[in-house]
Amino acid sequence: MEYLNETWPWYISGFLIGMIMICLNYFGKVFGMSSNLRTLCTLSGAGKAADFFRFDWKSQMWNLVVVLGAMIGGFVAVHFMHDASNVAINPETIKGLATLNIDAPEGKIAPDALFGNEVFQSPKMIFILLIGGLLIGFGSRYAGGCTSGHAISGLSNFQLPSLKAVIGFFVGGLIMAHFLMPLIF
């Protein structure tokens, strides 16, 4: 049981993800979290307003179960199996956060200033969350999928558009981390 509380090596996690992708490919399924938004909108009647939401949502029920499992798994991991003591944060990252006036996470993986409940007490942070959410939602729709869909599913199927999308995601992340975050914070 102690092994479950530790950070797993990349070769075990990567192997398990690879095996899941082989199973999904075998059964003709395509993995991606952002496609669930379309399914949820269809369930709530958006098909009456737009043709994009008129499709057989029952064929995507398995993917909604994946989202539910990710939510339950995240809850269990944080509340019952959480041990950040075995995660070492790079000292350069801590220095970079300090230059942005963000305290290093103490006994956690992520700083409270960005991921804690105090975010909801600042109008600036609420605005950033809303704009960021809209940009991520638009970007994942425009790119034809999110990072999990393209980086895991698309690349495992050798899809060139997924490679282009993943490169774009990384370039966008680098621009955000090195140029935009210092302006925002």
Distances (CA, A) of 126 to 59, 110, 117, 137, 140: 35, 18, 11, 16, 21
Is residue 8 included in any domain, yes or no? yes
- Residue 134: Cβ within 10 Å count: 10
Boundaries of domain holding 29: 1-82
Is residue 139 included in any domain, yes or no? no
Is residue 173 included in any domain, yes or no? no
Instruction: Determine the Cα–Cα distance for residues 84 and 179; give it in Å rounded to an integer.
Output: 29
pLDDT tens, 137-178? 888 878 888 888 898 888 888 899 999 999 999 999 999 988
Is residue 26 included in any domain, yes or no? yes
Is residue 56 included in any domain, yes or no? yes
pLDDT of residue 52: 87
Whether residue 185 contacts residue 100, with contact meaning beta carbons closer than 8 Å, is answered with: yes
What phi-psi label fits residue 145: left (phi over 0), alpha (psi between -120 and 50 degrees) or beta?
A: left
pLDDT of residue 71: 93
pLDDT tens, 110-130? 888 888 888 899 899 999 999
Is residue 144 included in any domain, yes or no? no
pTM of the model: 0.73
How many structural domains comprise the chain? 1
Is residue 92 included in any domain, yes or no? no
Torsion of CA 93, 99, 105, 109, to 10 degrees: -30
33: its two tokens = 């979290």
pLDDT of residue 11: 92
Is residue 163 included in any domain, yes or no? no
